[in-house]
Chains A and B, each alone.
Chain A
């Protein structure tokens, strides 16, 4: 008798579980069906942190003012650089239930979606809004795939920034920010003698970030940009030299920290002299204690282009896309128009701590570091970031990460070069 009871309970539980599983699916559909009068636009992003979420809200307000018949539905998924968001997005796209528009790094990172036929070209928007005149020509070139553009860049971040602590440099007798790779190595050596950490570093991806900066600094902008074209040379002596530089520089790195923030904090706290990180670090250094460290620029921390990269702006950009089969295509286009507008970008970027992709932004809104970045953006040569999805697709970037991760274990330059060459060959890009 008792046995029968137990099995009855077990079966009821199993039944309940399958019922709830079915119920979940229906709920999701009910929500997107929504009201007929006010159509909603589902905007999928990974902007949930301090600063970036505020920027998104600012853009949302403009959007809702301009489009009173549309409601903004924030489908943001937390997690730095969109790791988890993108995994969820993959499953949504495979199930043919795309959001109305989603965030993606402009450039090669979108290739997977483009090849899978998930994205619609947005050339018509570029023509209608005359965006080709307000975005830098090199940017347009670098995000065009076979004559088509698939996304609307909202902001620009800079990858090649050397952050340093002026007091630590002074103590080590280093006159100022090093301009070349050689000067950088000399400076690292000088800092090492004082007992401070010469170069702070975070988890594995920050080493890849460092690698892209060393490659740009050591190879020069033209050779670097050529790496992503058909006439790339990954096996040549120039690359060997660059990777040896990378090895040398890595030998001055401190204990790897958990992520980029603790590594940047070592510089702010005067434990470390240098850190090479994208300019999102500025907000972290500068913002008041909730989201940042509340440090004073130029005294507690200072910046310069990464060694050997002066005159080049290594960029990455967040952009929005138009998925094929978006439930509310017109709503998505309305959102893209806000994202492309001067007003939208000037609302978003000062809060996010980035600069607008448009070159006609209101300069008075951008002060301190951002003013420097803005003037460099319109005057410098451009190069695209590896780690942040501009020049390589996901598969290639993962292969580079793997090669760098293995290099951190065995310190073998020849193997690293081989792995990088193999990654370039098999990338299918």
Chain B
């Protein structure tokens, strides 16, 4: 009886959210996977179970491989760019800049803007016109005499997606900075002093004392940025619309469902997006569970 009293109120309290998540997250996920394994290639047919056929056939479509390549380039540039820029900003901040609070707010503000608004502004900034037809950043480069920097931006056939990552970096690096700054602050001052007493120069203090302390923060940042990047849709659509030149899986999914009216194909792409995010998130979960256990033991 007593034990029931211990766990029942807690369970009752959390059960609404458990039910909501079970239905709206995991139930829907399951439904999506089931749909992806049928041949429901238009809205009216019933759809027979076809196993993993859709998952295999998708790779024969040139558009799919293009969008996967785009997602990879975008993810690498965006995650690395935001991490490095965020680290740099946090580092400068940590070195004791005057008016730190103001700067922190300034760098964090872009986070408050939606990707759609960012995208619309950057669409103009990254206009591909050059020389006398230049606007946005190309105009700026033209005016400064830095003509060689003028670029096709996201219309560049090879590195367009790298350009597409720039607004995302702009938006998220402030957030990464905040994470890293908290990490920096978590390094005990005594440790640094001890290292300095032992004759470490400033570089080595960072290399061997501070940076190892930042590992968990870096990992969290990586997970957060990584899953944003793999699911990116709004930014791409706001900047370029639904064009193959900047196609990513999420945009392709929209096209498959709402333009091609092919629910099974859309579900397959959605399933791949979920799986790719899982690749990021599951190792993190395992790592954090292990860490918790270790902490409990010690």
Contacts and interface: CB of A to CB of B under 8 A. Distances in A.
B262 A395 contact: yes
B129 A255 contact: yes
Contacts of B62: 406
B243 to A, nearest CB: 4
Contact of A405 (B14, B20, B245): B245
A86 interface: yes
Interface string B246-260: 010000000100111
Nearest to B17: A14
A231 interface: no
Contacts of B243: 203-204, 405
Interface residues of B, number: 33
A94 B44 CA distance: 10
A263 to B, nearest CB: 12
B273 to A, nearest CB: 18
Contacts of B13: 7-8, 11
B42 interface: yes
Contacts of A112: 42-43, 261
B63 A402 contact: yes
A258 B244 contact: no
Given A7-B14, A86-B258, A256-B128, A395 B244 contact: no
B261 A394 contact: yes
Given A112-B261, A394-B260, A395-B261, A18 B16 contact: yes
A402 B256 CA distance: 11
B152 interface: yes
Contacts of B127: 258
B27 interface: no
Contacts of A256: 128, 155
Nearest to A10: B17
Interface in A393-429: 394-395, 397-399, 401-402, 405-406, 408-409, 428
B44 A409 contact: no
Interface in A287-315: none
Contacts of B262: 395
A402 B244 contact: yes
B20 A18 contact: yes
B16 A14 contact: yes
Contacts of B260: 394-395, 398-399
Contacts of B44: 115-117
Interface in B216-262: 240-245, 247, 255, 258-262
A15 B19 CA distance: 11
Interface string B176-214: 000000000000000000000000000000000000000
A204 to B, nearest CB: 4
Interface in A1-28: 7-8, 10-11, 14-15, 18
A292 to B, nearest CB: 20
Nearest to A255: B128
B123 interface: yes
A376 interface: no
Interface string B121-148: 0010001111001000000000000000
Interface in A227-285: 255-256, 258-259, 271
A6 to B, nearest CB: 12
A406 B64 CA distance: 11
A409 B244 contact: yes
A66 interface: no
A42 to B, nearest CB: 21
A86 B245 CA distance: 24
Contacts of B129: 255
A405 B14 CA distance: 49
A117 B43 CA distance: 11
A103 B129 CA distance: 36
B61 to A, nearest CB: 9
A95 interface: no
A87 interface: yes
Nearest to A197: B133
A354 to B, nearest CB: 24
A255 B155 CA distance: 9
B72 interface: no
B66 interface: yes
A90 interface: yes
A398 B152 contact: no
A255 B152 contact: yes
A11 B63 contact: no
Interface of B: 13-14, 16-17, 20, 42-44, 62-63, 66, 123, 127-130, 133, 152, 155, 157, 240-245, 247, 255, 258-262
23 contacts: A8-B13, A14-B16, A14-B20, A15-B16, A112-B42, A115-B44, A204-B241, A204-B242, A204-B243, A255-B152, A395-B259, A395-B262, A398-B255, A398-B259, A402-B244, A405-B243, A405-B245, A405-B247, A406-B62, A409-B66, A409-B157, A409-B245, A428-B42
Given A203-B243, A255-B128, A405-B243, 16 more contacts: A10-B17, A14-B16, A86-B258, A112-B261, A115-B44, A116-B44, A204-B245, A258-B127, A271-B133, A395-B42, A398-B259, A399-B260, A405-B244, A406-B66, A408-B245, A428-B42
